[in-house]
Every structure is written in C-alpha cells, then in structure tokens.
Amino acid sequence: MAATPAPAAPPTSAGEPWLFGRGGSPAPRTGSGRGGHHALSGLAALLFDRDGTLVEDVPYNGDPALVRLMPGARAALEAVRARGLAVGVVSNQSGVARGLLTREQVEAVQRRVEALLGPFDVWVVCPHGPADGCGCRKPAPGLVHAACAHLGVEPGRAAVIGDIGADVEAARAAGARGVLVPTSVTRAREIAAAEESAPDLLTAVRELLAGRWAPADGSRADRAPTDRADAGAARTGGAPKGGALKDRAPADRTPTDPAPTDPAPTDPAPTGGIG
C-alpha cells in the first residue's frame, strides 16, 4: 500500500539529515525505534540506497513520474519483509543544497517509491552538498547511524546495499555490513575494494537472508575509507536510462580516478520536474 502523504516536517538544523518514519511522516531522531528487533538474532535491518539501487538514477529527480524500479527491487523487498526484518532508505540528495530540488519534491519522489515498493520503516535523507561538512552525507556514517537509532537496531545487525563505494563505506564507518551491487556508474576500484558484492539487488538480499556473508564486526567500524568514493562525476560505462551522475562531488575527484569517458557538466540540467 502506498504511504499516505504526510505534512512537511519541520526544518532541521544545519548539518542534520531529514528523518521520516513509516508511512512518510516526520520521525523523531531518537527513541521511537521498532523495539521488537532487539530480540532477534543476526541480521535485523536492511537499509537501501535509493538512486541506482531501488530505482533508476535520474540526476536530481524531483518528478515522481520519472521513478522507475531497478530490476528485482520489488521481489527483494518482498523477501526482506517476509522475514520480518526492518527496511529503510539512506539517500544523499545534494540537489537540495544545489538549489535544484525542494523538500516537497524529495518527499513526492519518496511517496512514489513507496507506492511501487510498499512502505519503509524509515527514510533518512542528507540534503547537504559535498562542501557543507555535515556528518550524514555518505560515505560519512550519519545516515546509517540515524536509521539504526530510529529502528532500535545496533549497526552491527544492519546491512546497507548500494551501487557505489560511498554506500558501502558509510556502512563500514557505522559498523554495519555493506554490500555493493554494481551498475554502469560503479568504478572498477570500488568493485575491487568491496568486501561483499552481488550482481543484482535480489541476489544481494537472498545472500544476506541466507547468512552467506559474515556479519560486521568492530574492526570494520574502525577502518577508515581508503578513497572516498563519492568523489567525481565520471562514468565507467554506458549510463542507465535517464542518465547517470549519481550523487558524487566533481570537485572532490581524486588523482587516482580515471578520466571521464563520457564527460558531463558539473551540474547537468535537471531532467524532470525540477527545472
């Protein structure tokens, strides 16, 4: 069932993520988690990146009509819910900081995703840009920490699935497990660095539910990211439908990154509903 539209949440103070509970309503930042997950053993929650993982990556999309599911997304969510695990979304949306998206547009896309995939227990969104110095923009761990706190789940019993290095680095920094599902925007070095990866979203979920990957441990939380993977706007292959920029910061591109094979403007013109 689609989430019912919720009134706009009150503004958050500088540096904080936007947090929404089940059904899209604004959620408290602490204390209201799903306590039943404390009693479960093993994996208790799955957190998903949005663009390029659950839905096709349309740069700075604020138009619900442009939302298209990634292959296997519906089956993956059904499998997780059938096991009684909590589900959430952790998403960088720097289009807000860049002036290309409004909060209302972000929420409209969120409601469309839930109409297609069902309600999530928590959404945590970073609206900041790469230069804002927040603690929530992936690969920083803030989104994962906030989602786990709301769900009442220790990060070590959560897993994050995403399509670029920043997603798995955020998981690692938070003490959670990170699983990479590469797409055409995933860099070769990100694939090589991933400790856990899968060819598609449904396979990633099935492997996690089957317990075929070792759980996260404290050593992962202590490991610093080797190369911040949200840097750069280069693509490593053909773009998926709708184009592909992901939410990377061109100015942060490191010398080890390959030169773009398909150059794109630093801030491409919005492709839907935000111009």
- SS3 string of the chain? CCCCCCCCCCCCCCCCCEEEEHHHCECCCCCCCCHHHHHCCCCCEEEECCECCCECCCCCCCCHHHCCECCCHHHHHHHHHHCCCEEEEEEECCCCCCCCCCHHHHHHHHHHHHHHHCCCCEEEEECCCCCCCCCCCCCCCHHHHHHHHHHCCCHHHEEEEECCHHHHHHHHHHCCEEEECCCCCCCHHHHHHCCCECCCHHHHHHHHHCCCCCCCCHHHHHCCCCCCCCECCCCCCCCCCCCCCCCCEHHHCCCCCCCCCCCCCCCCCCCCCCC
| 192 Cβ contact partners less than 8 Å away, ≥ 6 residues apart | none
Q: Is 54 domain-assigned?
A: yes
Question: What's the pLDDT band for 80 if we cut at 50, 70, 90?
Answer: very high
Q: Mean pLDDT throughout 167-184? A: 98
**Cα–Cα distance between 130 and 122 in angstroms, integer?**
23
Q: Between residues 32 and 108, which one has the greater pLDDT? A: 108
Mean pLDDT of 80-105: 97
Q: Is 121 a catalytic residue?
A: no
Catalytic residue among 49, 57, 163, 167: 49
- Return the residue matching tokens 């990170």: 178
Please compute the mean of the pLDDT values over residues 89-109 and round it to a whole number: 98
Question: Picking from 15-24, 52-61, 232-241, which range would have the lowest pLDDT averaged per residue?
Answer: 232-241
- pLDDT at position 239 over 60: no
Question: 64 to each of 69, 106, 111, 120, 256, how far by Cα in Å?
Answer: 12, 9, 8, 17, 36
- What distance in Å separates the CA atoms of residue 56 and residue 53, rounded to the nearest whole number? 7
pLDDT in tens, 125-160: 999 999 999 999 999 999 999 999 999 999 999 999
Percent of the chain clearing pLDDT 70 (strictly above)? 66
Q: How confident is the model at residue 248, as a pLDDT?
A: 63
Distance set, CA 45 to CA 25, 109, 152, 217 (Å) = 20, 23, 10, 16
pLDDT for the residue numbered 26: 54
Can you tell me the mean pLDDT for 224-249? 41
Number of domains in the chain: 1
| pLDDT value of residue 47 | 98
- Tokens 């899968």: give the residue: 198
Is the Cβ–Cβ distance between 36 and 75 less than 8 Å? no
Q: Is residue 186 part of a domain?
A: yes
pLDDT score for 15: 77
What's the CATH code of the domain at 211?
3.40.50.1000
Q: Please check whether residue 199 lies inside any domain of the structure.
A: yes
* Residue 106 pLDDT > 90: yes
pTM of the model: 0.74
Is pLDDT of 109 > 70? yes
Q: Which of 21, 232, 16, 268 is nearest to 137 (CA)?
A: 16
Task: Pick 63 or 225 by higher pLDDT.
Answer: 63
Lowest mean per-residue pLDDT among 25-34, 205-214, 238-247: 25-34
The verdict on residue 135 lying in a domain is yes
Provide the terminal-to-terminal Cα distance of the chain, rounded to the nearest Å.
30
pLDDT at residue 215, rounded to an integer: 57
Mean pLDDT score, 60-73: 98
Q: Is residue 262 part of a domain?
A: no
Neighbouring-strand partners of residue 46: 87, 159
Q: What is the mean pLDDT of the chain?
A: 77
Please state whether beta strands 45-48 and 158-162 pair in parallel, antiparallel, or not at all (unpaired).
Answer: parallel
11: in domain: no
Examine residue 145 and state whether it is found in any structural domain, yes or no: yes
**Residue 247 banded pLDDT, cuts 50, 70, 90:** confident
pLDDT-derived band at 216, boundaries 50, 70, 90: low
Q: What gap in Å lies between CA 74 and CA 157, rounded to an integer?
A: 23
- What is the reported pLDDT for 271? 40
Please tell me the predicted confidence (pLDDT) of residue 113: 98
Where does the pLDDT of residue 22 fall: very low under 50, low under 70, confident under 90, or very high at 90 and above? confident
Is residue 71 included in any domain, yes or no? yes
Residue 117: which domain range? 18-32+41-252
Would the pLDDT of 6 be above 70? no
Whether 252 is catalytic is no
